């Protein structure tokens, strides 16, 4: 999935982002009933700098540790686990990432997206709202998701 990163309302650069899988000391929280990210999440379409074509990005996290991300015609699938950092904060890690070979919402090829896949993603989860950062810390730029 490609996502635009912006600062102060201006588009500064484009970064390719793919969701990743998480592990916490060998315990797969994603298989526990209290997994805070299970469900279907939509990108908040009102974010500054989000291209029109990317306002319908969806990410589905299931209770078995699988994710499915839809960005334009592109569909990315992966297995995920979560590492709990603190209350409401997690590291999402990925494995077995694959794509349907189509272009994403910004017409970026699947090959390019997969070659720039983020391996660790910092999440801040509060109820039905989530900030997904483009790196392993909350200092990294982010975008907002809302659970359906």
Written as six digits, the tokens of 117 are: 């896949």
Task: Say what percent of the chain tops pLDDT 70.
Answer: 78
Nearest to 143, CA basis, from 46, 52, 63: 46
Which segment of 12-16, 65-69, 121-125 scores lowest on mean pLDDT?
12-16
Higher-pLDDT residue of 21, 143: 143
First-to-final CA distance of the chain: 19
Whether the pLDDT of residue 14 is over 70: the answer is no
The pLDDT, as a whole number, for residue 38 is 95
pTM for the full predicted model: 0.76
Give the CA count within 13 Å in the CB-facing half-sphere of 135: 7
Mean pLDDT score, 33-55: 88
Higher-pLDDT residue of 40, 32: 40
Whether the pLDDT of residue 102 is over 50: the answer is yes
Nearest to 74, CA basis, from 53, 102, 94: 102
């Amino acid at each position: 999935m490609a996502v635009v990163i912006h600062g102060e309302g201006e588009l500064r650069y484009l970064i390719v982002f793919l969701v990743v899988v998480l592990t916490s000391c060998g315990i797969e929280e994603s298989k526990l009933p209290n997994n805070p990210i299970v469900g279907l999440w939509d990108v908040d379409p009102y974010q500054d700098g989000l291209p029109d074509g990317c306002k319908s990005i969806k990410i589905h996290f299931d209770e078995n540790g699988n994710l499915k991300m839809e960005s334009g015609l592109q569909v990315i699938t992966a297995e995920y686990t979560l590492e709990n950092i603190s209350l409401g904060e997690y590291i999402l890690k990925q494995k077995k990432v694959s794509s349907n070979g189509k272009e994403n919402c910004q017409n970026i090829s699947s090959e390019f997206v997969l070659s720039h896949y983020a391996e660790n993603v910092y999440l801040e989860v509060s109820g039905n709202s989530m900030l997904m950062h483009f790196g392993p810390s909350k200092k990294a730029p982010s975008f907002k998701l809302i659970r359906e």
